[in-house]
Structure 1
């Protein structure tokens, strides 16, 4: 028997036990009563919890996705340009300093996200984390939040440059 079948069998047994336990109350509950016997959950909660568990277990992740063949620094785990390398892409640098919101919306759009992500608090930090993980760049979520908060425009420019480099636009 495969490991996933064993897991599915175990989950199904737990769910059926929970459902049978919730229906095994000796005294009928009055309609509208908020009191439940100790240890018994309402059957609809148990049913939906079991359904969610079975749905989550139906497609387990067997291998983790790796970084694709994106470009320059996938092997080294570093950004292609430095934080203050604005002169390497004057279009991004100029747009960033003239209208930072426009650059943030452009960056989110080029990355494949909704352009409004730039207007959501923490949106650029989340996008930086996703970008870093996608491109295989080393770092932490805390560092992502600090960089986008403290070095906002410089980090947005670096993210835009990274996308342009990886897409072969520079």
Structure 2
């Protein structure tokens, strides 16, 4: 039972209808229908019939929606599998007309190995990026002996600046 409760708690944060969540939903609605039936027999009130119909309709709608959602997820997974299966074929296609940078040769002609000189003309060197400036950690002004990193936010810093300006004006 503890395992079911743990799975139920985790399934709440999992997108989509999980089997544990569907079981809990169906058990809860079945218990509600039993309570409404018991109240109907105890009081003979039409209100419990109406509540039972509403509850049953909601129960059926939730189960229908969960089935539709699972079917849609299955279709999306199938589309993803087909896309992954077709992706290597598209990459290996010799009909591509993408040009290689710095040359007029297309990847189709490079794929067939016709102009080998064009393939060697492409530079494979990486240019280093020069750093724009160094990042420095600011120290907390209140406790300079500890040398701790500043955890003061920008808003707090602006408040300090405005307080200093107010003191200068006085």
Both structures adopt the same fold (TM-score exceeding 0.5) = no
The structure whose RCO (Cα within 8 Å, separation 6+) is larger is 1
Bigger CA radius of gyration: 2
TM-score by length of 2: 0.25
